Amino acid sequence: MKVLANDGISDEGKKALQNAGYTVITDKVNQEDLATKINEENYEIVLVRSATTVRKEVIDACPGLKLIGRGGVGMDNIDVAYAREKGLKVINTPASSSQSVAELVMGQLFSISRFLNDSFKNMETGDFNTLKKNYAKGVELRGKTLGIIGFGRIGQSLASYALAIGMEVKALEIEQKEVEIELPEIKGFGTPKVKIQVENDWSTFLPACDYISIHVPKQANGEAVINEKEFELMKKGVRIVNAARGGVINEEALITALETGKVAYAALDVFENEPTPNKSLLNNAKIATTPHIGAATLEAQDRIGLELAQLIVNEFGNK
């Protein structure tokens, strides 16, 4: 079977597929040529990340396609329900990148607490003493409350890091439940565990948070999860991170909240208009930005590639 890994695949994943008898092609195909190339080359499996979309038109145009794989968590760039209706297998790798995304969020939390992003931009051209004064009002994470919206694998991984540095963690989902979080192993002390009571009431959750990190998928109706009314409920001076999906925060409402001081600082790894985000977000001194790199670590890419390979072999066997 021929596999098109259109957004790439790790060497480990490619090797695992090749060892199982699959032909793996990693040459990038432009989005507009995707259906044509799938048919011309008789690709039966297409693997994507976030750059390539596999919509109804591609699915309809490619009757030989058997499986679509997404290296990562969210599958909003694939018409999943339609593909499955047409008999295609659709897979993703929800567990492989959790730690990497959680670590990026921790980095963002530190960045927006100590002005790391903005100070880095200004150190080369700014006056040292002026900058020292401008960035002299940082805050510590220890003792602060982190609210995690969406408490799946990534949210829980983030919670383990936050708890380990002394933050209090609150979690919000549609349904209340209790989740046991396993902290990183401490030599000589084993693996501590903490129970988190997941809440479902926005009106009590949001005002209690010093920091908020969002870990929910893009909504089916296309609406943002955080809008003006959610910002109004937040404590003044809250800091907020989005490393989930562009569009889950209303970007215009975020800019307004930054201007009024409701939000002190924000960090964004994802944007509504990728790959051309709103310039007013990129140029805002109160927003730390990264170019959708949550899962982009060498370790995560190896895990993703190997998991995709295993899922494919489980489905179709060795060739």
- Token pair of 294 as six digits: 């949550």
Place of tokens 């890419």: 301
Specify the pLDDT at position 191. Answer: 85
3-state DSSP call for residue 301?
helix
Please give the Cα distance from 301 to 26 (Å, whole number): 14
Based on the fold, state whether residues 117 and 193 are members of the same structural domain.
Answer: yes
Instruction: Check residue 60 and report its DSSP letter.
Output: H
- Token pair of 116 as six digits: 């790391």
User: How far is the first Cα of the chain from the last one, in angstroms, to the nearest whole number?
Assistant: 7
Please give the Cα distance from 269 to 306 (Å, whole number): 25
Which residues, at least 6 apart from 146, have a Cβ–Cβ distance to it below 8 Å?
Answer: 109, 158, 159, 162, 167, 168, 169, 170, 209, 210, 211, 212, 213
Based on the fold, state whether residues 61 and 80 are members of the same structural domain.
Answer: yes
Give the pairing of strands 193-199 and 177-182: antiparallel
Based on the fold, state whether residues 307 and 281 are members of the same structural domain.
Answer: no
Please give the Cα distance from 257 to 250 (Å, whole number): 11
Please give the Cα distance from 318 to 301 (Å, whole number): 22
pTM of the model: 0.90
Based on the fold, state whether residues 110 and 236 are members of the same structural domain.
Answer: yes
33 exposed, middle or buried (CB, 10 Å; 0-12, 13-18, 19+)?
A: exposed
Specify the pLDDT at position 94. Answer: 85
Our count of domains for the chain comes to: 2
Specify the pLDDT at position 219. Answer: 86
Specify the pLDDT at position 158. Answer: 97
DSSP letters of 90-136? Answer: EEE-TTTTHHHHHHHHHHHHHHHHHTHHHHHHHTTTS-HHHHHHHT-
Which residues, at least 6 apart from 267, have a Cβ–Cβ distance to it below 8 Å?
Answer: 105, 108, 109, 111, 112, 117, 239, 240, 241, 242, 243, 287, 288, 289, 290
Specify the pLDDT at position 189. Answer: 78
Give the residues of the chain that fall short of pLDDT 70: none
Q: Which of 245, 251, 303, 307 is catalytic?
A: 245
Distance of CA 261 to the CA centre of its chain: 26
Based on the fold, state whether residues 180 and 268 are members of the same structural domain.
Answer: yes
Query: Is 245 among the residues known to form the active site?
Result: yes
Specify the pLDDT at position 185. Answer: 80
Based on the fold, state whether residues 49 and 112 are members of the same structural domain.
Answer: no
Based on the fold, state whether residues 137 and 273 are members of the same structural domain.
Answer: yes
Query: Is 274 among the residues known to form the active site?
Result: yes
Q: Which of 49, 70, 292, 303 is catalytic?
A: 292
Q: Which of 12, 41, 272, 274 is catalytic?
A: 274
Based on the fold, state whether residues 138 and 185 are members of the same structural domain.
Answer: yes
Specify the pLDDT at position 73. Answer: 84
CA-closest candidate to residue 305, choices 75, 65, 96, 155: 96
Q: Which domain holds residue 37?
A: 2-94+298-316
Based on the fold, state whether residues 184 and 122 are members of the same structural domain.
Answer: yes
Q: How many residues does the chain have?
A: 319
Looking up residue 216, the CATH number of its domain turns out to be 3.40.50.720
